[in-house]
Amino acid sequence: MAKRVTGPEIEKLIQLLAKVPGLGPRSARRAALHLIKKREQLMGPLATAMGDAHAKVKICSCCGNVDTIDPCTVCTDVRRDQSMIIVVEDVSDLWALERAGAMNAAYHVLGGTLSPLDGVGPDDLNIKGLIDRVAVGGVREIIIAVNATVEGQTTAHYITDHLAGLDVKITRLAHGVPVGGELDYLDEGTLSAALRARTVI
Amino acid sequence: MAKRVTGPEIEKLIQLLAKVPGLGPRSARRAALHLIKKREQLMGPLATAMGDAHAKVKICSCCGNVDTIDPCTVCTDVRRDQSMIIVVEDVSDLWALERAGAMNAAYHVLGGTLSPLDGVGPDDLNIKGLIDRVAVGGVREIIIAVNATVEGQTTAHYITDHLAGLDVKITRLAHGVPVGGELDYLDEGTLSAALRARTVI
């Protein structure tokens, strides 16, 4: 803004909101005005929730999940089959798989994928932690659920190689046609994979 | 989420973030994870900024602008021509006009438009405040800068009628072709207005 038309506290709030993913400079202003209009119902509680989360958030020292306790809710959940570990790139993938609700397993968050061009090596990821968890024993299966990208597959190979000597079954997510997907919109790689992995009806 | 995979503080944060305009349930999760990753650089400062704003925000008792002082920065700005008042529907319109930077005037925020169907009458808007400001004297011109919608125009007429007895010039924003706009994409009403209000080159 050319001239100041509002208080510095409000301008500061807009500046910071604009850094939140999903909000840009324009939507940050709209969000700030909405928060100001709903200051008792939304702005106050959100400020408190954010302060609380900021004070309490921890990264689980076992699996790399985000929580307010360490070890996290997933690692300490006795109703989960802790002998199966789903390996994911990011906490958002863990949340996505949990929304699907298909498995009742433990997780391991790598924190990214191997990417030599970006200077991300094995030591930058939570891979040693995974090997240690398997080496301790009691793990039957590792399900590698990384993205189907070049970096994801490279990471999957690296993990498979380094778990080779240990007595654990290693699996990966199936490739195929997304449920509800239209063939015409799918790439050749997916179609080939779906054909190769065809199943009897 | 079917089962708890993270702390209640984080789930609460996601729930509240999802109520911010521009963020939905999915982007609220992404925003929360980003905030958690950047908790020192972004989450902490944002929690503080939001708490500050929540504690200090006031609605200007003169013009209806949002600020941390009352009367607001605009009303107390002696470098502005306080004898010209731009009447807008919402604070966001005030901010938009200030970004244009074309006028150095005062403002008056109505807080909406007349809309009998939604039960919004003259008493629900900050119209009496405007008439009082003009009645006190010292106001040369009222520029009605409401949206070019039916409700906006109804509101403009209502205000014009109620300022009729007072010694003040009342103007409205020009209708015409938006700068950078293509004729082919404009509606007939805009094109007719632009033709009627044609100017000599």
Reported as a pLDDT band with limits 50, 70 and 90, residue B2 is low
pLDDT at residue A109 is higher than 80? yes
- Convert the pLDDT of each residue in B100-143 to its tens digit: 888 899 999 999 999 989 999 999 999 999 999 999 989 999 99
CB-CB neighbours of A166 under 10 Å? 13
pLDDT band at A114 (very low <50, low <70, confident <90, very high): very high
Rg (Cα) of chain B, in Å, rounded? 22
> B141 in contact with A at a CB cutoff of 8 Å?
no
User: Where would I find the H helices in A18-113?
Assistant: 25-37, 44-56, 91-100
Query: What domains sit in chain A, N to C, each tagged with a CATH number?
Result: 8-56 (1.10.8.420), 66-172 (3.40.1360.10)
Mean pLDDT of chain A: 92
The pLDDT assigned to A1 comes to 45
Q: Which run of H or E residues covers position B87?
A: strand B81-88
Q: Are A166 and A134 in contact (CB under 8 A)?
A: yes
pLDDT number for residue A5: 84
pLDDT digits (tens, 9 = 90+) for A80-106: 999 999 999 999 999 999 988 888 999
Q: H-helix or E-strand containing B170?
A: strand B169-172
- Nearest CB neighbour to A65, from listed B5, B21, B23: B5
Query: Which residue in B165, B169, B175 sits closest to B85, CA to CA?
Result: B169
DSSP letters spanning B125-144: TTHHHHHHHHHHS---EEEE
Q: CB–CB of B88/B94 below 8 Å? A: yes
Structural contact between residues B16 and A49, judged by C-beta atoms closer than 8 angstroms: yes
Q: What is the pLDDT of residue A2?
A: 58
In this structure, what token pair is assigned to residue A146?
A: 């990384």
Tell me whether residues A16 and B72 touch, CB distance under 8 A.
no
- Taking only the tens place, the pLDDT of each residue in A21-30 is 999 999 999 9
Which of A122, A172, A165, A166 shows the shortest CA–CA distance to A144? A172
Q: How many CB pairs under 8 A join A and B?
A: 197
- Of residues A5, A19, A77, nearest to B42 (C-beta): A19
- Among candidate residues B77, B159, B174, B34, the one with its CA nearest the CA of residue A23: B34
For residues A142 and A83, the answer to whether their CB atoms sit within 8 Å is no
Q: Which residue out of A39, A57, A75, A86 would a mutagenesis test of the B interface target, given it has the greatest number of B Cβ atoms within 10 Å? A: A57
Answer for the pair A168, A106: CB distance below 8 angstroms, yes or no.
no
β-strand partners of A141: A84, A169
Torsion of CA A11, A12, A18, A19, to 10 degrees: 170
Cβ atoms of A184 and A166 closer than 8 Å: no
DSSP state of B175: P
A172, B1, B188 from B196: Cα distances, Å: 68, 59, 12
* A127: confidence class by pLDDT, cuts 50, 70, 90: very high
Helix (H) or strand (E) holding B56: helix B44-56
Question: Tens digit of pLDDT for each residue in B44-66?
Answer: 999 999 999 999 999 999 999 99
Q: Does A31 have pLDDT greater than 50?
A: yes
Residues counted in chain B:
201
> Mean pLDDT across the stretch B95-104?
89
User: What is the C-alpha separation between B191 and B183, in angstroms, rounded?
Assistant: 8
- Cβ–Cβ below 8 Å for A39 and B22: no
Q: Which of B33-37, B65-69, B183-187 has the lowest mean pLDDT?
A: B183-187
Write the pLDDT tens digit of every residue in A167-198.
999 999 998 989 888 888 888 888 888 898 88
Residue numbers of A between 8 and 27 with CB closer than 8 Å to B: 8-10, 12-13, 16-17, 19-23, 27
pLDDT digits (tens, 9 = 90+) for A136-146: 989 999 999 99
Cβ–Cβ gap B21/A7 under 8 Å: no
The residue of chain A nearest to residue B104, with distances taken between CA atoms, is A3
SS3 A81: strand
Residue A166 has pLDDT above 50, yes or no: yes
State mean pLDDT over A35-51. Answer: 94
User: Is the complex ipTM more than 0.90?
Assistant: no
Q: What would the two tokens of residue B174 be?
A: 């020009």
How many Å is the Cα radius of gyration of chain A? 22
Question: Touching check for B33 and chain A: CB below 8 Å?
Answer: yes
DSSP letter for B177, please: P
d(CA B157, CA B144): 10
Mean pLDDT calculated for residue range A62-67: 94
Percent of chain B whose predicted confidence (pLDDT) is above 90: 73
Residues of chain B neighbouring A112 (CB-CB closer than 8 A): none
Residue type at A45 in one-letter notation: P
> CA angle at residue A119 from A114 to A120, to 5 degrees?
30
Detail the DSSP E strand segments found in chain A.
58-59, 66-67, 81-88, 105-109, 141-144, 169-172
